[in-house]
Amino acid sequence: MSKYRKLGRLLMVARKARGLSREQVATRTGLDQSSLARIERGDRRPSLPCLARLDGVLSFGAAAALDALDVPSVVVEPSVRIVPELRERKLGKWGAFGVRLARARRAAQLTQASLAQVLDCTRRQVARIEAGKVLPSVWRFALMRQVLRLDVDELLTLVREVPVMPFVGFGQVLVSARRELSMSPPQVATAARCELGLYLGIERGEQLPSMRAAVRIHQVIRFDANAAMRAVWQSSALDRLN
């Protein structure tokens, strides 16, 4: 992961320049402190939504972040022959992001196949990115920026604005129980021996707690376990767990 060290250092410098601790940044972004520490050391690759949320708090600039990756210079010749492209029938939750990428690719006169060659992926993967079903890695996004001359700040804004709350019903059960006890999220996190950023992400419905963490949280706020389990089963995200 050495290729992410410069990016991690950029994030750390931006955080310290604003006088923020890792705990404060983790709270505002929904990340846990250990993940943030690994990103700053360059030991972990941040996802695009993660990078977008960090930029929203630290304002380091998307272009500067991608420049820190030092991606190799790539020159791609426009496609002369028009070929049928793989099309997804329905746009996913990242649809606005994908549509802008597709427009930029066509403006550069590139096919999905030629872009896939640059990104070292399959044509189907490019089609899914353009359909908003998945997001590219930060490294591939940096390559796209270079080849397609993307407005990365606009694209990251689109990523940041998409709510990622597959378990919102579960989170609401916890919020209701906590409020009945007049407790704040930091109080619950401390009593349950859970990192605050992680607990806030659970309340927002971004993720589920581990079984051990769920037991500790239940011991603190006594949430309705049956209602919480029903919320998980009713979640549309359940399909992705099977």
Domain count, the chain: 3
Per-residue pLDDT band for 12 (boundaries 50, 70, 90) equals very high
Concatenating the DSSP letter of every residue in 172-184 gives HHHHHHHHHTT--
Identify the weakest region by mean pLDDT among 108-112, 179-183, 230-234: 230-234
The residue out of 161, 185, 212 marking a domain boundary is 161
Per-residue model confidence (pLDDT) at position 197: 78
- In-domain check, residue 76: no
Contact 59, 13 (CB under 8 A): no
- Asked whether residue 99 falls in the same domain as residue 55, the answer is no
Residue 172 belongs to some domain of the structure:
yes
Query: Contact 165/206 with Cβ under 8 angstroms?
Result: yes
Same domain assignment for residues 138 and 114: yes
State the pLDDT confidence band at 18, using cuts at 50, 70 and 90: very high
Q: Return the closest-CA partner of residue 31 out of 50, 55, 12.
A: 50
Whether residue 8 lies inside any domain: the answer is yes
Whole-number mean pLDDT of the chain? Answer: 83
Query: pLDDT at residue 240 above 60?
Result: no
pLDDT per residue over 212-238, tens digit each?
Answer: 999 999 999 999 999 888 888 765 444
Is the pLDDT at 42 greater than 50? The verdict is yes
Per-residue pLDDT at 190 exceeds 70: yes
Calpha distance 65→77 (Å, rounded): 26
- Whether 231 is in a domain gets the answer yes
Q: pTM for the complete prediction?
A: 0.63
List the domain range (segments joined by +) for residue 205.
168-241
- What CA dihedral angle connects 92, 93, 94 and 98, to 10 degrees? 30
What is the C-alpha to C-alpha distance for residues 68 and 148, in angstroms, rounded to an integer? 18
Query: How large is the average pLDDT for residues 59-72?
Result: 86
Which of 207 and 219 is assigned the larger pLDDT? Answer: 219
Same domain, 106 and 145: yes
CATH of the domain at 175: 1.10.260.40
Domain assignment present for residue 35? The answer is: yes
pLDDT digits 0-9 by tens, 130-167: 998 889 999 999 999 989 989 888 888 888 755 545 67
